[in-house]
Amino acid sequence: MHSQSKRAAGILEAVARGLVSFEPSVTEYWFEVVEVGLESTPARDDWRKLMQNVVTHFPGHGTLFEEKYLEGKSEGKSEGKAEGKAEDILRALTVRGVPVSDDVRQRVTACLDLDTLTAWFDRSLTASRAEDLFADATEGTTAS
């Protein structure tokens, strides 16, 4: 990974910039590969800073990165996935022209259960009202 190279910073910057052209799952995979390869070197810290500044345009990715790598929280990965799914749900409704109230937005973004979010996403593709996401929902919470 060139962690000991005098040109490590430039090499890592080029890799980080290249990663923004990939899908989020591919970017995350390659981030992991480089992260492991850099081991506990100063270059790894530089890599983390680069990724924090470069890879922030994916739904949920910024939170995932910060929690998993900067704060070291193991639950960051599932929280990042939940945040990404929530943003996908809201985006699907918006693109389809379905109005989203603040209450619906809050309920969707507060949910951390991936199965519930997956069901809501599926419903977001056909729902005529945002509130229809929660019809027959069994996630164990009450509507706001």
How high is the pLDDT of residue 37?
81
User: Per the structure block, which two tokens stand in for 21?
Assistant: 């052209």
How high is the pLDDT of residue 73?
42
How high is the pLDDT of residue 103?
94
The Cα 102–Cα 3 span in angstroms is: 47
How high is the pLDDT of residue 46?
78
Q: Indicate whether this model's pTM tops 0.75.
A: no
Contacts of residue 63, defined as CB under 8 A and 6 or more positions apart, other chains included, come to 76, 79, 80, 83
How high is the pLDDT of residue 43?
80
How high is the pLDDT of residue 66?
47
* Residue 48 DSSP one-character state: H
How high is the pLDDT of residue 133?
92
How high is the pLDDT of residue 54?
53
CB of 3 closer than 8 Å to CB of 38 = yes
Low-confidence ranges of the chain (pLDDT < 70): 1-3, 20, 52-78, 137-144
